[in-house]
Structure 1
Amino acid sequence: MADYSPVYANGAQPMTKTASTTITGGTIVEATTASSVGTAGAASTKAVGVAAHDAASGARVTVWPLNNVEHEVTVVAAGSVTVGDGVATGASGTAATAVVATAAAAGTLIGTATTTASAPNKVRFIGRG
């Protein structure tokens, strides 16, 4: 995948971490250790941002934070997200629809959708904040 930049960064700055797995740019990543990230799995409670570029395991990777940043990522296979839906992580660093109250209580809510999309298209969302 090509390099990734958020739709709107709202003054946020990316951070640099070590990839603990092979990461594809434009996918959601989660904290795996104090200074490492890996591709987020479904309903992750540890999502921290979106990878700015591809990175091999052990390499440095730039990550755009979730909070108050508008991102655009691929919707989970066979899924769809509608404007105003809660957004959680889907498989392999994708986005999935989520019931806001349920996902918030479970710690899996990563944002609110600002567009509507179904797989394999991309949905925009504003990260929780």
Structure 2
Amino acid sequence: MLHGVRYVWPAAVGPVNFSNRWYPYAVETAEPAHFREGITIRLVSAVAFIATKLEAFAGRGGGDYLSSHDIEDVFNIADGREELAKELTAAPAEIRQAVGEALGRLLADPNVANVLPGILAEPERAELVLQRLHLMRHR
């Protein structure tokens, strides 16, 4: 609760039609983070975040790498979180398989390598990001 407002992330399909199969996992595995007295939030793990973003891109992204915030988030997390592949190794098999399959489809598209430098804040890191995505695919 912040300034009398409780923020809720729907974990199931409901009246506003949120439907991502990884939302329940994200909520269940979120860890508390304490900011100042009386303010605690639960942070979704990077693995759960990537899983939800890959699923969202597969649904609403329409293969449009340049306008999808979901795929932009995937690329930026892979760029900024060196330990992500190791974290994925510790995730449940179902998550590892789903992320691996989604990344396999993504990396099979030759357009990804072409658009990635234009999405990243530091285009010169595109090859590193591709390496990390390939590594995550095989976890």
Same fold (TM over 0.5): no
TM-score (norm. length: structure 1): 0.25
Structure having greater relative contact order (Cα 8 Å, sep ≥ 6)? 1
More strand by share: 1
TM-score (norm. length: structure 2): 0.24
- Report the structure number with the largest CA radius of gyration: 2
More helix by share: 2
